C-alpha cells in the first residue's frame, strides 16, 4: 500500500513543458438552447430569477 504523501503530486510531469501563461481562466463558449414559446412561458411561471437564495441559486437551478 502506498503512503498518502505519494499522491500529493499525482499527475505532475516534472520534465514536461512549462506553461507560459499565469492565467488560470477557462474560456467556456456560450451556447443557445432554443426553447419553444410554450416551454419558455412554463419555465418563467415556475420561478423568478430574482428569488432570494442562500445556496448560490442551486435551488433555482434544481427547480428548473
Break the chain into its structural domains and give their ranges. 31-64
- Residues 53 and 9: their CA atoms lie apart, in Å, by 38
Residue 2 has pLDDT above 50, yes or no: no
Residues 53, 59 contacting (CB under 8 angstroms): yes
- Residues 32 and 14: their CA atoms lie apart, in Å, by 40
| DSSP H stretches of helix in 1-64 | 37-46, 58-63
Residue 52 has pLDDT above 80, yes or no: yes
Residues 43, 35 contacting (CB under 8 angstroms): yes
pLDDT at 56: 83
pLDDT at 1: 41
Amino acid at each position: 500500500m502506498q503512503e498518502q504523501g505519494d499522491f500529493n503530486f499525482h499527475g505532475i510531469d516534472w520534465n514536461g513543458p512549462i506553461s507560459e501563461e499565469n492565467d488560470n481562466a477557462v474560456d467556456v463558449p456560450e451556447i443557445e438552447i432554443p426553447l419553444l414559446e410554450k416551454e419558455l412561458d412554463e419555465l418563467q411561471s415556475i420561478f423568478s430569477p430574482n428569488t432570494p437564495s442562500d445556496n448560490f441559486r442551486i435551488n433555482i437551478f434544481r427547480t428548473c
